[in-house]
Amino acid sequence: MELITDEGIEGLSVIPIGDPISVAAIIERKLKKLVIGEDPFNSERIWHKMYLELFRDRKGSAIRAISAVDIALWDIKGKALNLPLYKLLGGYRDKVPCYASVGYYRKGKGVQELVNEMVSYVDKGFKALKMRIGGASLREDLERVKAVREAVGDDIALMVDANHAYTVPEAIKAGKKFEKYEIYWFEDPVWPDDYSGLAKVADALDVPIATGELEFLRYGFKELIAHGSADILLIDATVVGGISEWIKVANMASAWNIPIAPHWEQEVHMHLAAAFPNVLWLEFFPREDGIRLEDRLYKEYFEPVQGVLKLSDKPGLGLELDRESLKKNRI
């Protein structure tokens, strides 16, 4: 979405996951009237106005709609002050370590093809990789993980992402078998709302449990923390309630000494990863993998060098829409 001030400053945001039609409808019917005429620097007040309008629908598309508006407001603030967002937020560092979020299941992609893919990112300098599990039998996934670990060596951080594929007993069984391959984290082993189930998995395993990418608001993350459901919190600004809410969750995690890692939308999250010291890694999706539609929307493409992304000094998010590409991909 685009949010334009009376001075012509354009704030951008994108909500990549979920139903874009419902998000757009909520913005148009419910939130637009609350934002028009407001000062974008009063983003906290605007956030609360939007939340009070939508709190009866306080998960899903309603919070994604708030997220879209809030991210655009922060983009405007950075541009108005001629500051990149990460400096506006505190500027802890100007380079962030990235992990290559790859290793997807693909038709015709066997173990050797997977190994070749993962090794190619080590050759590009990435010190951390994530691959998908849970879409095949446990025997097959163990073969895949074993082959990747042997190919990339012991010095590469290897994360596995189950995308909520397992029951609690299945996750514990799988996790114990994966542990011998020195897994850096086990992501989303069970259903995202099963706080007690996640806690059982976390208690049973030595490998850290990472989750939170589909969690909404600080209140949802409070439950994850209170139940002991996660060793690492994965926070997504496009899901949780925007940058304003992401900041609150990051600070809450810091108070509990829980490390965090942003999920998806690297163009937004690189700024947050650079601004907060408790961020471990930035999730990075290589453009050649073809996973994200967002790669078609922006003129800019920020690419890590030797697994490290240098932040731009362009104001705000530092993004400009590719309007020709946008026309071709408009719904």
Cβ neighbors of 323 (< 8 A, separation 6 or more) are none
Q: What is the pLDDT of residues 207-265, one digit of tens each?
A: 999 999 999 999 999 999 999 999 999 999 999 999 999 999 999 999 999 999 999 99
- In the block, residue with structure tokens 């993004």: 319
Is 330 a residue whose pLDDT tops 80?
no
Q: Up-side HSE of residue 264: CA atoms within 13 Å toward CB?
A: 20
Q: What is the rounded end-to-end Cα distance, in angstroms, of the chain?
A: 13
Alpha helices by DSSP H, 195-313: 195-204, 217-227, 237-240, 242-255, 266-275
Q: What is the pLDDT of residues 15-35, one digit of tens each?
A: 887 888 999 999 999 999 999
331: confidence class by pLDDT, cuts 50, 70, 90: low
Task: Give the global pTM.
Answer: 0.96
Kindly provide the residue ranges of all beta strands, DSSP E only, lying in the chain, ordered along the sequence. 2-4, 10-12, 95-101, 128-132, 157-161, 183-187, 209-211, 232-235, 260-262, 282-284, 308-310
- Which domains are assigned to the chain? 2-83 (3.30.390.10), 86-310 (3.20.20.120)
Contact between 218 and 194 (Cβ < 8 Å): no
Q: What is the pLDDT of residues 115-163, one digit of tens each?
A: 999 999 999 999 999 999 999 999 999 999 999 999 999 999 999 999 9
Cα torsion at 146, 148, 150, 151 (round to 10°)? Answer: 160
Q: Which residue has the higher pLDDT, 326 or 200?
A: 200
